[in-house]
Structures are given as structure tokens and as C-alpha cells.
Chain A
Amino acid sequence: MNKSLKILLLVFAALLVAGCLQATEKVPGEEDKPVNLVRMGGQDMIQRLSTGEIAGFVGWEPWPSIAITDGYGKALLDSGDVWEDHPCCVVAYDNDWYNKTENADEILKRASLVQLTSVEYINSAKDKNSPYHDEVVNFTMEFGGIKNRKAAELSLDNVDFVYAPNIKGAETFIGRIMDFGIFDVGKWNQSGYKTAEEYANSLITTEYVDWAIQNKDTPLKELALNKTVTIRYGYLINDVHELPFYVAWKKGWFDDVGINITLAEGAPFQNGAFEMQKGFKAGTVDIGSLGIPPVIIHRINSNDFTTDDARVEVISGMNNEGSVIVVARDINSLRDLRGKTVGYPGPGTIQHVLFLMAADKEGIKVSY
């Protein structure tokens, strides 16, 4: 090998070492084996749990209910046990779309009203005596890709559907995401937010839901927009959390208020991170539903602050709770999962953040 190349390599190696020295302060203690989180899709979670390849998974409904109903695993923790009534999925709009759409406010008001209508319908139909119960179970099976009726019922029970956005909850999430070191520090500084509270307040708007509440007794058709608009909608694949969207879409309530829903390019998305990056940031989604943590994370990390391309605003809630840690039979506590592999939908998802929170309470480590 020629000499010059050797010297070049040496210089590079020296630089590399020099660069790393400053980062050595945070080497972990080896006292505890971490739980290893590994990304996978919902079908995979169930299949891998059944073969014993993973010791458990943390997933959104319907996967936990399917796994439990089919006997592949048992529920270890409901996300409500980790944090009661935590916010989960929300409805958000793309800021670029808002800026170039003249009657965006009117559209968003009606989208919120449809959301409210759908949530109230589902909540009343959850009752087994409701005349609409079978219908809503059918919707759950279709949207969630569920074959077993019992699993669909369980799924429905595990999710709290809501329409009001939860600013305090978002603030808590922001604080935890900061604690867990998920924000890109440089990007956070560029954002100009000083506190979690400040960020949460700028992230969520309640005016549309307020309008919806005031007008909830007016028939939808009377409030229709003057001219039908087409909205490119993004949502997550097979996510029962987003059932209110699906029900409203299928029952034609969006059409009633003059909103024509088309599937956004790339939708349904594999997880919220994809929806933020490939959808909202790329400008292919106008309005969409996804977990609030991906919104919180990517409005900072993936945003280009000169154009604010990943800026989205949350207009209403979708659901609270509704994620479950499902484990194999021989696992009886989070501690039993140490050193084992657990499936999750990906970094930055709500299940990721919730699992970290659960581990934090329990005092165990999680690698991801």
C-alpha cells in the first residue's frame, strides 16, 4: 500500500478518536440487561410471539386483542396502567396545505364536527344493547383486518375514543420525549420553544373542536361547505385507534359536510414516523390521523425550520389509551423481559414512548 494512503488513514483514524473522546462520559453501567426493542409490523408481532422468537410485543389495537383471543399471549400491561387516559392518536393538518387553502378554517371546523359525530356514534354503539353494535363491530373488523369477532369486541373495549384534544397530555409527552433524549438538540434549539408547555400550546388548536361542540346538534348536511373540497387523508394501517375516521368515511359523513376524502399517496402508513416524513413533510397529506408522539418528534427533528415543511397542527383527539404490552405465558412482569426481545412498531411511536415510560417506572433499561 502506498505510503501517502497510510498517512491519510492514520490522520483519519486520529480524527475519529479525537472526535469520540468527548463522548465517552456517558458509558452505561452494565448492572442491568436491557429489554431489546425490535421494530416489526403487527402481523409479524403475533407470528413471532407464536414461534417464541420474541418474548412479547407492544402494539396498537387490534394486534394485542388478536394475539390474546387466539391464545398466543396474554396482556401484561394496558397502556392505561402506565398512564391513565393518556392521549394517543390525534387528527392533524399540514400547515402548508392550510396556508394555500382559502377556506381551510371552514374545512377544519367541519372535519372536527365529523370526528365528534363519529366518536359519539362509536361510543354509544360500544354498548352491546345498542342497535348499532353489530355495525360498529363490523367496521372494526374491516378496518383492523380482524377475522375473529371476539377479538374485534375486545379491541373496541380497549380503546377510548375521544374528540377533544388534550394539551396537558401533549405537554407530558413532550417532557418525557425530552427526558428520553429523542429530540435532536440542534433542531430543538432552532424551534425556539423554551418549554414543553410552550410547544404543546403551539401544537394544538382547540377552536375547531369548540365550534364542533357548539354545532353538534345541527344536522351535518345543513353545515355543508358551499363547494365540495377534496382532502388527501393519511392514516395508519389497521389501527383500530383511528376507527372514528374509518366509520365517518364509510358512513358518508365527510361527504355530508362537503369534504371528499381521497387516500393520500403512501397511505395507509406503516407507522406515525412514516406518515410524518413521507406524508406531511413531503406534502402528500393534507389532513391525517396518527399518534401524537410522532407528531411531537418530527415537527422538531424532521422539520426544516426555514420552510417549516413538517409543521402540522393538531385539531382534535382520536383516542386515549388502547396500546397493550402482550407477552408469552412464562412472562409475569416487565422485569422478566430483561435481556429478551420485544417487538414494537418503530422508534418514536407512541408504543415506544409508553414502553420507555413503563420501564422507567419499573427501573429497568430498554435498548432501541
Chain B
Amino acid sequence: MKLDSGKKGLVINLFSLIGFIFLWHILIVLAREDIFNIPFMRLRDIPTPVETWGALAGSMFTRVYGPGVTYGIINHVEASLIRVIQGGVLAFVVGVPLGIWMGYSKLIGNILNPIVEIIRNMPPMAWIPLAIFILVTGGSIFIVFIGMVFPIILNTIHGVKSTDPRLLDAAKTLGASGFGIVTKVVIPSSLPSIVAGLRIGLGVGWMAIVAAEMVIRSPVGLGYFIWNMGDLGRYAEMVAGMIVIGVVGYFMNISILLFQKRFIKWAD
């Protein structure tokens, strides 16, 4: 039987995933049976894939034990996603106009560039203590904002600067105003780059939110969940939460790619 390249890819994908899970299982079992252990690691304490799966299934929805309510992973995903979206919208609203301005006007670019260049090198996590001290609420959203705004600004600038000069000249020749040039030529032409910035930004924002939720107090959120589970010695739930973070991040990336493919057909 001959497989076409798509099917072949699928088979390889599947085997690699299964192989990884199998390797994970073997490593833990070997460590628990004292046959092999990676030095300086307590591999035996890591849950096996089966245990992790059970924990994931068991903690997916909110559970109530007597007076205690433990929120389900879906509630934590929801809370984290909402924060990322809030921070993302804020970053988009600030980042895109700023990027266009900086890319379009040489003067503004020269003024703001050094500031952006320095601040963008401060990782979002470095802002956490400051966020705790100065913000009464919304610290996590602020951290997401910091993580997302710079990729958006930089990609927008890049998009604006790579607008085809012939298009600009044509628009000017035809008598378009400065505002018209920006809205009708510059923005559409830099849209693919802006969306790319958004995609990168979301990746950073998603990582930042998990870190922020571990430190900034809030009763719900994925970062909070895995930290809490660790505190209770529920390592299987903790690892399940980590996997969910990966899976959600992956789907976020994919959905933006799909969006890009569907709505911005002139990309690439």
C-alpha cells in the first residue's frame, strides 16, 4: 500500500506522540523499579501518563467535597484565557496604532525607538513584582499586556515599512490624503505582519499569564491551579494542568493561523 505524503505525515505524527508517551511511561516505571534513573532527578515522583490521564479526567470539572469547592480545569482555562484576551485587546489597541505611527513617521520612530528597544527586553515576568505593588487589581492582565504589546508594535512597524513604495506613490499621485494612505494602503498591506505579531504576542502572553497567576493572587487560573496542586502533593493533577497549558497554547496558535489563511488571503 502506498501512502500519499499527507497520510504519511499523519502516521509519523501519531507515532511520535505515542512514542513520547511510551518513553515517558517507561522512564517513570524504570525509575520506580530502581532500574534506571537520571542522576539528580526524582523521576519516580512524576506521575505516569495513565495517572496523569486519570487526574485530568477527574479534575476537568468543578468538584464539591463538603464545604470545599475545587474549580475544574475548564474554569481555570476560561479564567486564564479571559485574562489573555483582555490583555491582548489592550495590547492590540495600544500596539497597532503606535506601530503604524512609528513605522510611518520617521520622526516618531526615532523618538520612540530607543524606549521601545529597552523596555521590550525586560521580560514580562520581571514586571510581576512591580505589578503587585502598583496595581490594585488586574496585575495578571497587565503582565499579558507587557508580553504582547512589543511583538505587535515591532511587527506592525515591520509591516508598515515593507509597504510597496510603488503603491504609496500611486496613492499619492492619485491625490490620496495622508489619512487615506494609511487606512487604504498602509494598513491593508501590513495586516499580515500585524497578525503575525499578534500570533507571536499571544504565545508570549500565554506563557506570561501562567507565571503571573502563580505569583499574583487570584482564586482561579491555570498557573494558580498547578501551583496549588503541587502544594497539595497532587502531582498528577499538576502535570495534567501543565499539559493543558501546552494544548491550549497550541490551539491558540493554530486558530490564528487558520484565521490568517482565511481572511488575509494576500499574505505571503
Q: Which residues of A contact B (CB under 8 A)?
A: 1-5, 7-9, 12, 16, 19-20, 22-24, 26-28, 34, 36-40, 48, 51, 53, 179-182, 184, 186-187, 271, 273-274, 276-277, 297-298, 300-302, 304, 306-307, 341, 343, 346-348, 356-357, 359-360, 363-368
Cβ-based interface call for B126 (8 A): no
Q: Are A19 and B56 in contact (CB under 8 A)?
A: yes
Count of B interface residues, CB-CB < 8 Å: 51
**Complex: A278 Cα to B71 Cα, angstroms:** 26
Judged by a CB distance under 8 angstroms, whether B161 is at the interface is no
Beta-carbon contact of A23 and B217 below 8 Å: no
- With A5-B13, A19-B53 as contacts: A360 and B67 at CB distance below 8 Å: yes
- Is B254 interfacial (CB-CB < 8 Å)? yes
Contacts of B9 in A (CB 8 A): 2, 4-5
Distance of B173 from chain A, by nearest CB (Å):
40
**Given A23-B60, A26-B64, A180-B66, does the pair A1, B254 have CB atoms closer than 8 Å?**
yes
Nearest 10 CB-CB pairings of A with B: A4-B10, A301-B233, A181-B65, A302-B233, A36-B219, A359-B67, A19-B57, A360-B67, A20-B60, A4-B9
B234, A184: Cβ atoms closer than 8 Å: yes
With both beta carbons as reference points, the residue of chain B lying nearest to A307 in the complex is identified as B44
Among A1, A26, A273, A366, the residue within 8 A (CB) of B63 is A26
> Which residues of A are found within 8 Å of B68, using beta-carbon distances?
180-182, 356, 365-368
Q: Is B110 an interface residue (CB 8 A)?
A: no
Residues of B within 8 A of A (CB): 6-7, 9-11, 13-14, 17, 32, 34, 42, 44-45, 51, 53-54, 56-71, 136-137, 217-220, 228, 231-236, 247, 251, 254, 257-258, 261
Contact pick for B44, options A36, A306, A365, A368, CB 8 Å: A306
Chain A residues whose C-beta falls within 8 Å of the C-beta of B70 in the assembled complex: 181, 367-368
Known interface pairs A23-B58, A359-B67; A39-B228 also in contact (CB < 8 Å): yes
Q: Is the CB of B6 within 8 A of A4?
A: yes
A8 to B, closest residue via Cβ: B13
CB nearest to A342 among chain B residues: B219
Since A19-B60, A367-B69 are in contact, a sample of 7 more A-B pairs with Cβ atoms closer than 8 Å, ordered by chain A residue number, is A9-B251, A40-B217, A180-B65, A348-B233, A366-B67, A367-B220, A368-B70
24 contacts between A and B (CB under 8 A): A1-B254, A1-B261, A4-B13, A9-B251, A16-B56, A19-B53, A19-B56, A19-B60, A20-B60, A24-B61, A28-B62, A38-B218, A181-B68, A184-B234, A186-B51, A187-B233, A304-B32, A306-B32, A341-B219, A348-B231, A348-B233, A360-B66, A365-B67, A367-B69
